[in-house]
Chain A
């Protein structure tokens, strides 16, 4: 027995102090193991076979020749695979994307649909056999052509109502001194996290164990248990290190097919997606077309705001990219109408991708506001400040805090905005035209029920257990700091274990809610543990463990508009003779709750802004109409920003603790990308005098649009 020694004195205040990642040493030495890297004895390797047609039926899967190939153990397909249960609503309140429920029937709803899994002793054997497998199809005509005028579009709710409207839109537009009426488009974009989806499944004494790369182990347990009709307690999912997620790492074909194969073969099976497979199996951000109409008085006050967004979804899952949700929070008007619509096409299922809705929606809204500022002859930052709403434009609820104006003022000071000449196309440096742009950002601040356990160990240390996921956010480190403060002990005495569903239900790393949700649970458990430990008392060998569950506390939260905010600034250089656009510098100032770890928080916000550059200038998946598949579905064909595309970016914040959160957290995972692409696009206009309303702002588009010859 050892003496319990939490500090009763002043808090240690680890929160708010820069701290390198607790797993950082493992990551820089290569010791950190990701899902596909945990050794298993007698491991078999599965390789998925995807459809080459965009719509139709599987007529036959010629397994015979393949089963005779060296090392091949089995071929699973719709004719022999275990049956799955798919008629359910999962932990996130939505039914499963049937792309993950593999081999249940002969239908092919899109190109790159999983039709078989070949399992062999080695990955080389599995790959060769998968390539050799002959699958015949009955082909049907497909429609993959996404366009604003698609006749099959319909309003869809998703996570928010499809439609909100108030006031007489046409009348207010008619009465407006200045009107903007434009269409903006964003292309199909892919998550492209560096670690491909990977899972190893095995049965261990009647319990299914899956080592996986995901954004929430208990989320994956919930889905797998439902699909395979198992008790959730009979499934364990571990995910210690995750090489990025961005919304894509939930239940996918790789886990489900690995579980099937492990069940059939009764040996451990690993399925790793190839980079090309990821482009049709792991979700993506739908393309959007967005029509925006703004009407304003001469002083820039908005009288009318109309935002209609359309995105595509698959025929097997409805996903709404709610771009029209942005103005429901950001801007009020006498007449205010927002609507999200979707159209079902013969394409893979889209999904959540970093700031779903906000990222494409903010591009359109914030670019349109820049156009309105130009028409009104008002500084674009000033236009936004004049349109700051008192409460939620649609809900009418008060904001928990809205420090957007403070972000703009601090950002303008540091960026040097006051000296800006508003005229477009008048600054030249050699072959480059220069311009600056700004945009506003917001993202919901929420929390979801989670459980945590904190143990006082006999050696005087503390162990936090929570099925959180650190997909690169720094959550593991942040939770360690939060626990240390709640326990009032030095950080070095706290060890945080995450990524194991046996630690109990918890929120996923998603919606910018992970760290906040988990920190709440950790704070509750740690706080109670500290109270329970008697100074000078003893700790038994098994330790003293306190568990928490935040369900009740969250249910008691008052209804408010809770959001993070930010102001984005960008400077670009454009060569209109070659079409090249380079971002020279960016600054983002955010009001995003209490910042737990400034070192990792700055990194994450800068990372979001980097995504904004990438979205503005590079990212675009091109769908080939004839085949229905993507053209160039790899990282050479799908460009994400490289080192050379990313200049010095600064991110900082204003003081903005959330008054209703025990730590003051709001969440910072997504707000960094919001508005960033618009700031870049607005800067391109300022440089060239040309509005680019279709992303990405590719060289050919810049070249064809031309520019001033100054």
Chain B
């Protein structure tokens, strides 16, 4: 780890000014990902601007009846918040399914969305990686990829986004607020992550120097009956190999509204719009749930060792939607 300057910001505009347009400067939130990447040499910033103590640590009602979550709210506080647990239970479950109690106490909402992939080629500077060193190659395509992407990837990168929280936020149409020297702006979370294409090192649509200040959840009645299910290679404290955030509004045995997002299958949390369209107005039965999953997963392009993810996601969709439908029928 090389030496670096450290500054603590007092307010948002001060933080943005401290970072400036320095490409070697980084915002420091909880540090759970950035400090680790600095130790492994993936990140070598010259300056850290500590934003952890900015007054962005509240969860408040938004004007439209939704909830506004400050960027420095910790994962723990988010998952424990009565409003989140009551109105968006899948979000609380997703956060609780991630990392460990210690890491959730440190990690922030803003940092969670900007965390980097845990692909073992990306995190090991002795190996090639197009995301880390553009043009160096993607050894995962021919090498180890059993936990890599099946949707939206390219030959240049097949890494997956590791967030659980982001999957639920994506399902609930979250909007990201950020600040630059030009002032405050917003971006739907769905548009935050760039397509992989030939530029896997370009990950987000945020302008240079932008600081995420919060995430707004619009009101969504459907979210009250929602669930997050995560499958991983041990029972806890592991990244997903596949996860689903789902919400279902059923009336008279017919789906009025469905929300569905997938984790650990793409370079970003994957909103399953195609599946949602199939579900809307369809009977709330396992048969239609499977058809919806199949419609979404038709776009899957698995590699030799990760084809199981297609089956896994299909099964997860059917299982989670069936549980929600059963609950609704009770």
**A617 interface residue per 8 A CB criterion:** yes
With contacts A622-B144, A624-B139, A629-B127 taken as known, whether A578 is within 8 angstroms of B312 at the C-beta atoms is yes
A627 in complex: contacting residue of B1, B127, B311, CB < 8 Å: B127
**A582 interface residue per 8 A CB criterion:** yes
**B102 interface residue per 8 A CB criterion:** no
**A8 interface residue per 8 A CB criterion:** no
A644, B319: Cβ atoms under 8 Å?
A: no
Binds B, one of A102-110, A223-231, A554-562, A697-705: A697-705
**B64 interface residue per 8 A CB criterion:** no
CA distance A704 to B315 in the complex (A): 12
Highest count of chain A CB atoms <10 Å: which of B146, B236, B305, B308 = B308
**A639 interface residue per 8 A CB criterion:** yes
CA distance A84 to B230 in the complex (A): 52
Binds B, one of A124-132, A329-337, A534-542: A124-132
Query: A residues 121-142 with Cβ under 8 Å of B?
Result: 124, 127-128, 131-132
A632, B143: Cβ atoms under 8 Å?
A: no
A626, B139: Cβ atoms under 8 Å?
A: yes
CA distance A478 to B142 in the complex (A): 52
**B118 interface residue per 8 A CB criterion:** yes
A-chain residues with CB within 8 Å of residue B311 when the two chains form the complex:
703-704
A-chain residues with CB within 8 Å of residue B298 when the two chains form the complex:
none
**A431 interface residue per 8 A CB criterion:** yes
Binds A, one of B21-29, B47-55, B178-186, B237-245: B237-245
B-chain residues with CB within 8 Å of residue A577 when the two chains form the complex:
315-316, 318-319
| CB of B215, distance to nearest CB on chain A (Å) | 25
With contacts A124-B1, A128-B3, A636-B238 taken as known, whether A699 is within 8 angstroms of B233 at the C-beta atoms is yes
**A645 interface residue per 8 A CB criterion:** yes
A-chain residues with CB within 8 Å of residue B41 when the two chains form the complex:
131
B144, A699: Cβ atoms under 8 Å?
A: no
With contacts A127-B1, A629-B126, A631-B143 taken as known, whether A579 is within 8 angstroms of B235 at the C-beta atoms is no
A52 in complex: contacting residue of B126, B143, B235, B306, CB < 8 Å: B126
**B279 interface residue per 8 A CB criterion:** no
Closest to B229 in A: A578
B120, A579: Cβ atoms under 8 Å?
A: no
A582, B235: Cβ atoms under 8 Å?
A: yes
**Interface of chain B: mostly helix, strand, loop or mixed:** loop
CA distance A255 to B231 in the complex (A): 41
B312, A579: Cβ atoms under 8 Å?
A: yes
Query: B residues 284-330 with Cβ under 8 Å of A?
Result: 305-306, 308-309, 311-312, 315-316, 318-319
Closest to B142 in A: A626
Closest to A52 in B: B126
CA distance A578 to B231 in the complex (A): 7
A-chain residues with CB within 8 Å of residue B126 when the two chains form the complex:
52, 111, 627, 629
| CB of B246, distance to nearest CB on chain A (Å) | 14
CA distance A631 to B144 in the complex (A): 7
| CB of A121, distance to nearest CB on chain B (Å) | 14
| CB of B53, distance to nearest CB on chain A (Å) | 24
Highest count of chain B CB atoms <10 Å: which of A578, A627, A634 = A578
Query: B residues 2-42 with Cβ under 8 Å of A?
Result: 2-3, 40-41
CA distance A500 to B236 in the complex (A): 39
Closest to A50 in B: B126
Highest count of chain A CB atoms <10 Å: which of B233, B311, B315 = B233
9 additional contacts (CB under 8 A) given A124-B1, A700-B312: A431-B319, A577-B315, A578-B319, A579-B308, A624-B143, A629-B127, A642-B234, A644-B236, A645-B236
12 inter-chain pairs at a CB distance below 8 angstroms, sorted by A residue, are: A128-B3, A577-B318, A578-B242, A578-B315, A624-B144, A626-B143, A629-B127, A631-B120, A632-B144, A642-B238, A699-B231, A703-B312
Rank and list the top 4 A-B pairs by shortest CB-CB distance, nearest first.
A632-B120, A644-B236, A644-B235, A577-B315
- B residues whose Cβ falls under 8 Å from a Cβ of A: 1-3, 40-41, 118, 120-121, 123-124, 126-127, 139, 142-144, 146, 231-239, 241-242, 305-306, 308-309, 311-312, 315-316, 318-319
